Amino acid sequence: MTKIKTLPAVLVILIIFGSILGYYYVHKPFDAESGFGLFKTVWQILIALFILTLSGGLGRKILWSQDDIATHVDLVTNAAIGMGLIGILTLALGMTVGIEIIPVLILLGVILVVTAGECLAWMRSWRHIHFPRPSLIQRAWFSLTIIILIPSLFFAFAPPIHYDALAYHLSLPQLYAETGRIIYTPDIIYVGMPQSTEMLFLLAIRLGGLEAATILGWFISMLTLVCLFEHVTIRFSAGAGWASVLALLCGFTFAKSPAWGYNDWTAMLYGLTCLIALDNWASSKTRRDLALAATFAGMALATKYTGGIILICGIGVIAFNMRREALSKLASTLFLFASLASLMLLPWMFKNWLQTGNPFYPLLYPAGAMDSIRVAFYQSGTIFGDWLDMILLPVQASVFGVEGGEGYSASIGPLLLGFSLVTLIQHRTFAEDQKLSLQSIYVFLLTAWVVWAFGSRISALLIQSRLFFPVFPAWAILAGAGYHVIEKERLSTIRLGMIAGILATMVFIFTSVEVVRDFFKQNPAGVVFGVVSREEYLERNLGSFVPAMQAVQDLPSSSRVLFIWEPRSLYCLPKCEPDEIIDRWYHDRKVYGNAESILNSWRNEGYTHMLYFKLGADNRRVESKRFTPEDWEEMDLLLSELPIVENFNNAYILYSLEGN
């Protein structure tokens, strides 16, 4: 081999670099706008990873983790602890000093300085972990997993378009970022819900913009899947680990939702880590494992009120595992578990008490913007299904659940049900330590089933599968165990595991096709690479909602726009005030009576315009039993007296409220 002297070698590199630079100076791979968009996306990815790394380092510091090489479960546990604590610190900062960029940087800087060594160790530990060598069918599942997750990542890069993100999951953090404080707003009652995930979204938005929050949500879902895979692999087998991930992602809602900017995957992460800690406690009976389980149960509750199901399930598991202990010992253990878990919710209860006088706002009793009429409206509704739906809830939710549809309102796929039934039938074939783990999961899921079933007969909202997603990782573990049973079983010369694997692959392919179809239909890659503008992308997916929001934004800065029948406000804050639970007309009819009095009340409150969602109103004229013909007559009378500012394809109509 011929050696090249140093100087000529440098010249060779410079010549190559210069030729490349000259070529791309003329043949630009992208224009300035596209280049800025790509740079912004890279920055937002780094912001999301920074928040997760900071969370991992803080969790590692709190848990006194010393090993440089840890399992995925350990690393995810560290991050989960850190995320919950950073959420509380962000709440405290926003309620006191404020969340302008300087206080946020100081907070994160202090955490970084205190945990710098732990952050580095947390990052290094990921390099030392290796997945077991996959079989042919597992490689196919891995490929299909990538096919599902990459499109969802592009959706995370693009502007948010999903309903609840536009209504509150992202609109509240965006409002906080714009006002510089965590404020009480009577216009979005969900301000009273626990917002642990939304605090992380707030940090991401403050540092990197709106899409940084959805990217962070996507990475949180990846942590959940990695933790699920490794836990099931350790407990059963690699095939079972892949099957548990597959059982979740074959559900269309699970496959699409990582990019939505919701808090569901964070709640699922806390549900999973709580169950793992309870599993460890069942063997060790140490206070550390119990405290860890309680902390995660509390963090699930601090993510969303229905995350409290994890606390109830945890109580069930503890009671089952201590059924032969003295009653006094059981009582003290349950008290410790419930008390530690409740501590995680206390900051949010305290915030609500300060802002409204109701720690559980907007639930239970009137307070703040929720008077008795609104509380009754929110907590009522037509109960879906009948008692058969309650008894057969897992089957009904699996078979009849459709994303965005009536009732269960989520597509959870068939494999959770199918594989988990195998586990129940073949329970005796598991090893003794596996049986002990499975027994805790049985109790965990049975408790969840009872709570979900009876809740669905009390409240119309509590039939929705998505409200109870925190327990679904436990169901996925049960499904993975079911595949483990049949993985190597034979019927004569036929391998049952191969047949089950092929059937599962077929289901996964169907879900992949749905995801890819939506990817090309909605085209998030177009906006990421600058092929279509942000406005074109939003209008393609949200229709007339987008020009209506732009019209609101274009109004004078002193304008206040009241929404009727439309709860989504992300793209018009802070000028707009949404109809967050679709009850504004119902409420004002009860309070003020006729159209003239209602209009005067709006003007007295300072509203200058009204955005009327005509399609939403027309739909409720047909379907809703809450409104009488007289209600609609008054609505039509009010509209007839208002001048139209702009009509958006007869879907939205912007009216002026200014008058004598």
Token pair 């410790």 is at which residue? 336
Choice between 19 and 230, residue whose per-residue pLDDT is larger: 230
**Alpha helices (H) along 487-544:** 496-522, 524-528, 534-542
What's the whole-model pTM score? 0.93
By the 8 A CB rule, do 576 and 561 touch?
yes
Burial 99-129 (b: 16+ CB within 10 A, else e): beeebbeebbeebbeebeebbebbeebeeee
CA atoms of 408 and 452, how far apart (whole Å): 11
| Residue with more model confidence, 109 or 462 | 109
Residues 95 and 182: beta-carbon distance below 8 Å: yes
pLDDT for 311 equals: 96
| Helix (H) and strand (E) counts in the chain | 29, 7
Among residues 161, 140, 182, which one has the least CA distance to residue 508?
140
* Residue 265 reports pLDDT greater than 60: yes
Q: For residue 521, what are the CA distances in angstroms to 211, 332, 385, 508, 515?
A: 20, 56, 33, 20, 10
Taking 60 as the threshold, does the pLDDT of residue 531 lie above it?
A: yes
Q: Looking at residues 531-550, what average pLDDT do you find?
A: 93
Band of residue 135 on the pLDDT scale cut at 50, 70, 90: confident
| Average of per-residue pLDDT across 132-154 | 88
Model confidence over 313-346: pLDDT tens digits? 999 999 999 988 889 999 999 999 999 999 999 9
The pLDDT tens digits of the residues spanning 382-431 come to: 777 777 777 888 888 898 888 877 888 899 999 999 999 999 999 898 98
* pLDDT above 80 (res 445): yes
Query: HSE (CB half, 13 Å, CA atoms) of 232?
Result: 31
Are 308 and 97 contacting, i.e. CB atoms less than 8 angstroms apart?
Answer: no
- d(Cα 64, Cα 589) in Å, to the nearest integer? 58
Q: What is the arithmetic mean of pLDDT over 337-357?
A: 94
Coil, strand, or helix at residue 185?
coil
The tally of CA atoms less than 13 A away on the side-chain side of residue 622 is 5
Cα separations in angstroms, 199 against 22, 105, 202, 263, 475: 46, 15, 5, 11, 28
> Which DSSP helix (H) or strand (E) runs through 485?
helix 472-486
Quick: pLDDT tens for 41-54. Answer: 889 999 999 999 99
pLDDT at 105: 94
3-state secondary structure at position 611: strand
If one compares 136 and 589, the residue with the highest pLDDT of the two is 589
Do 527 and 162 form a contact (C-beta atoms < 8 A)? no
Confidence of residue 1 (pLDDT cuts 50, 70, 90): very low
pLDDT at 189: 87
**What does the pLDDT read at residue 94?**
94
Is the pLDDT reported for residue 36 higher than 80?
no
CA–CA gap between residue 247 and residue 417 (Å, rounded): 9
Report helix angle 196-208 to 101-125, nearest 10: 100
Nearest C-alpha neighbor of 579 from the set 190, 202, 169: 190
**CB under 8 Å to 570, separation ≥6 — which residues?**
160, 165, 166, 167, 170, 171, 174
Cβ burial of 19 (10 Å; 0-12, 13-18, 19+) is exposed
Please answer whether residues 272 and 228 qualify as being in contact, where contact means their C-beta atoms are separated by less than 8 angstroms: yes
d(CA 301, CA 251): 24
Q: Quick check: 482 pLDDT over 90?
A: yes
Q: How many angstroms separate the CA atoms of 231 and 566, rounded?
A: 43
**Sorting pLDDT into bands at 50, 70 and 90, what band is 76?**
very high
Report, in angstroms and rounded to the nearest whole number, the Rg of the chain calculated over CA atoms.
Answer: 27
- Mean pLDDT is lowest, of 25-29, 204-208, 348-352, for 25-29
- Tell me: the pLDDT tens digits for 197-223? 999 999 999 999 999 999 999 999 999
Q: In DSSP terms, which residues pair with 563 in a beta bridge?
A: 611
What is the pLDDT of the chain when averaged over all its residues? Answer: 89
- Residue from 269, 300, 334 nearest 72 by CA: 269
Please tell me the distance from the alpha carbon of residue 89 to that of residue 95, in angstroms, as a whole number. Answer: 10
pLDDT band at 34 (very low <50, low <70, confident <90, very high): low
Q: 589 versus 459: which is more confidently predicted?
A: 589
Q: 310 with 270: CB under 8 angstroms? A: yes
Point out which residues pair with 646 in neighbouring strands: 654
Phi-psi region of 530 (alpha: psi -120 to 50; beta: other; left: phi over 0): left
365-388 mean pLDDT = 83
- Per-residue model confidence (pLDDT) at position 659: 64
pLDDT at 461 over 80: yes
- Please tell me the distance from the alpha carbon of residue 553 to that of residue 170, in angstroms, as a whole number: 18
Residue indicated by tokens 């509704």: 381
In percent, the amount of the chain with pLDDT more than 90 equals 65
Q: How many Cβ atoms from other residues are within 10 Å of residue 278's Cβ?
A: 30
Cα distances (angstroms) measured from residue 246 to each of 38, 166, 514, 637: 31, 29, 15, 54
What's the angle, vertex CA 120, arms to CA 116 and CA 124, rounded to 5?
170
What are the b/e assignments for 60-84, b being 16+ CB within 10 Å? bbebebeeeebbbbbbbbbbbbbbb
Does the pLDDT value for residue 272 go beyond 70? Answer: yes
Taking a C-beta distance cutoff of 8 angstroms, is the pair 250, 414 a contact? yes
For every residue of 392-416, DSSP letters joined together read: THHHHHHHH--TT-STT-S---SHH
pLDDT classification of 660: cutoffs 50, 70, 90 = low
Q: What is the 3-state secondary structure (H, E, C) of 234-292?
A: HHCCHHHHHHHHHHHHCCHHHHHHHHCCCCHHHHHHHHHHHHHHHHHHHHHCCHHHHHH
Name the more confident of 130 and 453. Answer: 453
The per-residue pLDDT for 492 is 65
Looking at residue 13, what is its pLDDT?
Answer: 73
Please name the residue ranges forming H helices in 184-237. Answer: 196-208, 210-235
**Distance, CA of 583 to CA of 609 (rounded, Å):** 18
